Chain A
Amino acid sequence: MGLLSDPNRRKALTTLLTRLNTPICVVCYLAGIAWFMGLAFEPFTLRTYMSENAMGSTMVEERFPAGERALATGREFAGHKRKAGGMPVDWLVKTMQDRGLEVFTQSFSRTLPFPDENKERYMVRGINVYGILRAPRAPRTEALVLSAPCSPDNSNNQAVGLLLGLAQYFRNQIYWAKDIIFLVNEHDLIGMQAWLEGYHHTNISGMDYTPLQGRAGSIQAALSLELSSDVITSLDLILEGLNGQLPNLDLANLFHAFCQKIGVMCTIQGKLQRSDWDTAEGYTHAVQTMMLMVLKQASGRPWGDHGLFLRYHIEAATVRGVNSFRQYKTDTTTVGRLLEGMFRKLNNLLERLHQSYFFYLMPSLSRFVSIGYYMPAFGLLATILLLRVSLHCLNPDMYKSWMLQFKVICCSPLRFISGEGTEQGWRVLKLVALLYLAVLLGCTALINFSLGFILAITLVPVAACVTPHLPKAVSALAMVLLSPGCTILYCVFIFQELQEAPVSLSEGWMLFLSVISQGILDHSLFGSLVYPLLALLVYPCWLLLWNILFWK
């Protein structure tokens, strides 16, 4: 007979689950944490490889010559930006037209729900300028985007200069099969959101914008460029986008392949890959890189201008030039060559990037962990909840109190919620809370694994252990320390620690408050889901558990 239909075996299984429930839960929890930490260990990861046949290897001849001229253009742009006190629209339009692009502008305005302390803006008004390079022989059905932000201070001038230099070089080539859009957006993410909404004829964030006059076909891939110095020592790749969405891994593979071909040092999360994976330092380095990615993904905010493209199924990444104190410097011409090579390879694409992974974690730029490998870590934590559910279901007192409780719930829900009820009523509430938490965390982990996992680490022990019979004061303190709010606080401190910029307690507190306000702003501006998830779905669950703790 089967395991569950044979009464003897079933009795044995139920006694096993009831007696050994707590040890199994503890083992599962530790196993989940250990599995997650083990993901960064190099033999457990896979080497990245190019999955898309159409992109092939890096065999392309890059011939971009005009790095110095690009820098001169950047300086001109800086001068005009200072004079105009914002985006030098007329100069940009004229320069792009001189390079043979079809130039259009879009103006937008938005009033934030409350003033943004970090970027010091409240009523935002700006203009995006973009030029379209039409493919000489192809029909206008597909497009690629290269964008550079126009920052109000003195940064990213070289990015705009390089963008204009590449535009001029690309204009002279005949092998483009897709249109290329060169976009300079003002007020970084807000401008980008306005442009994308205008391009795709949607309005999800309540922004005011003028409709786009010129359009180029469906966008296949986008690159955002941030370059603030004439020479760089390394290029950093930023992948995390809105709601923790990541671009297709092939885009990162393409970047890495070209970095190796051209010989530029490339980093991810600002950390350079180490070759000594079997030492403790090498392993902690990989863990730090992976934890940074997890924290950035969990925050749900777009970490570069590219982050907003991902929602429209456009694979996008941000390339940031970093000038640190290394000896070997790379000039602008080489960076231009790298971008030229990437664009030539993206030009060869016949469909959107879809062959490689969409869900992955990267302990370094050449190693990745796919969803099949990291999901069991979360699965082990979710098993704890299900084990607790089974424990409560198998309790023989349950059935009697079930009937009673259902009567109570149906007849007078208010009395039930206010904490009155029978002695065993809290069990039903806990069952409901466990199931609810399991479903909530499961759904969250499917969309944004990092957020689901971090919430699970703190909430699952609380949900599993809380009963009214625990000592009130100590467990109340433990619950507050493991609440979602404190989880955010810990994440802030850990993030700063991993960035090698540790903060003191007061600074950390201020940072925590700004993170919360950023979360609310992201939700209202771009539709980020972290804030509503935490406020409307996770916190009530924690309150339910708090209620159980103080059950009379």
Chain B
Amino acid sequence: MANYFTFLSIFAFINVLVFLPVIHGNSFETKASQFFSSGHTNNWAVLVCTSRFWFNYRHVANVLSVYRSVKRLGIPDSHIVLMLADDMACNHRNPKPATVFSHKNMELNVYGDDVEVDYRGYEVTVENFLRVLTGRLPQSTPRSKRLLSDDRSNILIYLTGHGGNGFLKFQDSEEISNVELADAFEQMWQKRRYNELLFIIDTCQGASMYERFYSPNIMALASSQVGEDSLSHQPDLAIGVHLMDRYTFYLLEFLEDIHPASQANMNDLFKVCPKSQCVSTPGHRTDLFLRDPGSVLITDFFGSVRKVEITREAINLTTTAEQPVEVTSVRREVKSEALSYVDQLPVAEIIHQKPKQKDWHPPDGFILGLWTLILLVFFKTYGIKHLKHIF
């Protein structure tokens, strides 16, 4: 009997010894995977304006304002594919050449000094757009015109122009249907060209464009429902055209408050431009998205935020059987204090942020002490018996 028990205990001990490194080994993967809790390592953006002609100034201004936000929040030009179907800044009819304004007070020149347009003029076609998305470009295509995303890329796709129920018009002569777009995204999924995809469209009846999506990990927003028109915001009498569409105008206003360390999530984005401001009803679709939209940060798509965790100790991630014991103790130490970089840019000063509502704190010691002193002096002079006259 005793032999039997001894055998069992030795057997159990050997099992534990054997499985322990495996368990600890798994903890490496889990620990390493905690670095990438959202699952993406790089960000891309594909921004497309599909309409030409001077009176479609507002579509170019829409795209350029999203481009500006995306660049400001950290995505570099090498990771942005910008497609503009017409050149408004250098149009002969522009009374302010080399500028594209988003607001009639001309505060914000969204054209800027360093805009980099990848597909311009007649190069913006349905074929080129689909080739960019699916990656089926000829070998000679330069890098700036390619979407070189991988399975860890979060991609933001923004489309604007004239659209209808189930289609988006490109350049006055062709159109892309919602079925084609859904199939293109499915091709991207099967070729593992994205980790998560955010699709925003600002056209009339924009919600019809995301109805047919069927690939996982896509979140979609549109500026209007089927049967509704997306309206433009305001005309500028000096330039003589409408400057921007309403949805993108309020989207730009919302994005101007986002900085790279912002924790605003997708639920805030869904609230941009309610019906009272937009006149049309913006819509969104999250059923294909695996994560909860409340846990998705805006900067997951609009910015290029790299996850950096700082530690003082050297961590050896190559697994050997005897290492685990020391590592676990080290790990406990590291977890106790979380370090972070000093804020390198005084972000709140650069971006005009609304002052955050401070939580109410009880008045601190100095104020309390001052009031106590005043009360004491008061009662000293006038005496306690006068209390009843006051109250």
Which A residues form the contact surface with B (CB < 8 A)?
Answer: 53-54, 56-57, 59-61, 135, 137-138, 173-177, 344, 347-348, 350
Contacts of A54 in B (CB 8 A): 53-55
Interface of chain B residues 234 through 253 with chain A (CB within 8 A)? 235-238, 240-242
CA separation between A177 and B55, bound complex, in Å? 14
- Asked if B55 contacts A174 (CB within 8 A), the reply is no
The main secondary structure of chain B at its interface with chain A is: loop
A550 CB to closest chain B CB (Å) equals 65
| Given contact pairs A53-B55, A54-B53, A54-B55, A60 touches B240 in the complex (Cβ within 8 A) | yes
- Asked if A175 contacts B94 (CB within 8 A), the reply is yes
Is the C-beta of B95 less than 8 angstroms from some C-beta in chain A?
yes
Contacts of B242 in A (CB 8 A): 59
Contacts of B54 in A (CB 8 A): 54, 348, 350
CA separation between A137 and B90, bound complex, in Å? 9
- Asked if B92 contacts A135 (CB within 8 A), the reply is yes
Closest to B238 in A: A61
- Asked if B94 contacts A61 (CB within 8 A), the reply is no
Interface of chain B residues 53 through 94 with chain A (CB within 8 A)? 53-55, 91-94
Of the A-B pairs whose beta carbons lie under 8 Å apart in the complex, a sample of 30, sorted by A's number, is: A53-B55, A56-B55, A56-B241, A57-B235, A59-B235, A59-B236, A59-B237, A59-B240, A59-B242, A60-B237, A61-B238, A61-B240, A135-B92, A137-B92, A173-B95, A174-B95, A175-B93, A175-B94, A175-B95, A175-B240, A176-B92, A177-B91, A177-B92, A177-B93, A344-B240, A348-B54, A348-B55, A348-B93, A350-B53, A350-B54
CA separation between A53 and B242, bound complex, in Å? 12
Interface centre among B53, B55, B235 (most CB of A within 10 A): B55
Interface residues on chain B, number (Cβ under 8 Å)? 16
Contacts of A174 in B (CB 8 A): 95, 97
B122 CB to closest chain A CB (Å) equals 15
CA separation between A138 and B54, bound complex, in Å? 14
**Known pairs A61-B240, A348-B93 / 9 extra A-B pairs, C-beta < 8 Å:** A53-B55, A54-B55, A56-B241, A59-B241, A60-B240, A61-B238, A175-B92, A344-B240, A348-B240
Binary interface encoding of chain B residues 201-244 relative to chain A, with 1 for a CB under 8 A from any of its CBs, else 0: 00000000000000000000000000000000001111011100
- Asked if B237 contacts A347 (CB within 8 A), the reply is no
Closest to B162 in A: A53
Binary interface encoding of chain B residues 18-60 relative to chain A, with 1 for a CB under 8 A from any of its CBs, else 0: 0000000000000000000000000000000000011100000
Contacts of B53 in A (CB 8 A): 54, 350
Closest to B54 in A: A348
Contacts of B91 in A (CB 8 A): 177
A339 CB to closest chain B CB (Å) equals 16
CA separation between A385 and B238, bound complex, in Å? 59
Closest to B240 in A: A60
CA separation between A498 and B93, bound complex, in Å? 44
Binary interface encoding of chain B residues 82-116 relative to chain A, with 1 for a CB under 8 A from any of its CBs, else 0: 00000000011111010000000000000000000
Closest to A136 in B: B92
Contacts of A347 in B (CB 8 A): 93
Closest to A60 in B: B240
Contacts of B236 in A (CB 8 A): 59
Closest to A135 in B: B92
CA separation between A350 and B51, bound complex, in Å? 14
A142 CB to closest chain B CB (Å) equals 10
Contacts of A61 in B (CB 8 A): 237-238, 240
- Asked if B237 contacts A137 (CB within 8 A), the reply is no
The 7 A-B residue pairs whose C-beta atoms are closest, nearest first, are: A61-B237, A177-B92, A138-B92, A59-B235, A175-B95, A60-B240, A137-B92
CA separation between A177 and B95, bound complex, in Å? 11
B98 CB to closest chain A CB (Å) equals 11
Contacts of A350 in B (CB 8 A): 53-54
Contacts of B55 in A (CB 8 A): 53-54, 56, 348
A343 CB to closest chain B CB (Å) equals 12
B138 CB to closest chain A CB (Å) equals 32
Interface centre among B93, B235, B241 (most CB of A within 10 A): B93
A522 CB to closest chain B CB (Å) equals 39
Interface centre among A56, A174, A175, A350 (most CB of B within 10 A): A175
Contacts of A175 in B (CB 8 A): 92-95, 240
CA separation between A59 and B94, bound complex, in Å? 14
Closest to A63 in B: B238
Contacts of A177 in B (CB 8 A): 91-93
CA separation between A53 and B92, bound complex, in Å? 18
Interface of chain B residues 144 through 178 with chain A (CB within 8 A)? none
B104 CB to closest chain A CB (Å) equals 10
